[in-house]
Structure 1
Amino acid sequence: MNNAHIHLLINHVPVLGTLLVLALLAFAAARRSSGRTRDALGVLAVLGAVSVVVYLTGGAAEDSVENLPGVSERMIESHEEAALAATVALGALAALAIATLWRFRGRVLPRWVAFAGLFGTAVVAGMMAWTANLGGQIRHSEIRADGAAATVEAAVPAADEGHERGEEQAR
């Protein structure tokens, strides 16, 4: 297992984790559940730490792939910049979650905490999704907006035409 593989294994945790937190907070807000809000804030705290680890493994992953065919420094830098912003945002949200849990320890959380958490987590989830998209483009040319996907699209009609010819021959 190399550095890029490690990065790929753990980079999904903050992306999917923020979506889990969104669901928990939506449930908590709808049900007025202080307990579920606490759960969501706890998950945010863990995700903040995990996102730092994911970010730190990115440099080693970059070293593993930067000289591979089809990988450009521009794509890596775009992903790296988005990753830094998303990591800082999730870290700030995690710090707020920890502060909120400490401030309201032993007491019922006000309902506004779930709504504020929903807003903040939605922003961070969007940042994480964008970062993941940019990271995916590094090695998946079929999802790039720069036209690399056109080669895949050009191959699809040929495959469809061959399929249609096979149907005609079968008739």
Structure 2
Amino acid sequence: MTGTRDARRAESARRILLAAQEEFAEHGFEGATIRSIADRAGVHASLVMQHYGTKAALFRNAVQLPPGEAGVASQHLADVLDARLGELPPETLALVRSMLTVPEAEATMRDFLQERVENLERSFDGPDAQARALLAVSTVLGLTIGRHFLKLPAFEQITHEELVKTAGALLAGEG
């Protein structure tokens, strides 16, 4: 019976995590609730807390890329590039604009980017996984700054789609 109980528990955790990913994607951290995640997963809210402890812990789990799945990482990078090269939300603009002059913003950005490097590293294979992850995160940051803050004229001379496609291929090691 233990296997059956363990299997049910694992399936509940999987459904909760999928529901959390969808809720966080649609509503962000602030807009998603434990109750809405539980409802989407078809479980009681207390089961969400039992599996993940806190909303913050569930969020950390929900935003992790699967380890060793480079295809997922490549698609994730393409999605990130698409978002960062498009219009940025005001809170992202404020954080990036302030990261070099405000110690709190610098610390927040450093912690966020380090977590992104570690997340990507786990999804890449090979001895150069950390270097590739660091280069990917740094490249996205550089493109974001070049596009939104320095307003490099070259960004006006290439389509958004072509830039995302080319940068994605470079970051995936295809270019």
Say yes or no: TM over 0.5: no
Of Structure 1 and Structure 2, the greater helix share is in 1
Structure with greater Cα Rg: 1
**TM band (smaller chain):** 0.3 to 0.5
Q: Given the two structures, how large is their TM-score scaled by the length of structure 1?
A: 0.33
Report which structure shows greater RCO (CA 8 Å, sep ≥6).
Answer: 1
Q: Given the two structures, how large is their TM-score scaled by the length of structure 2?
A: 0.33
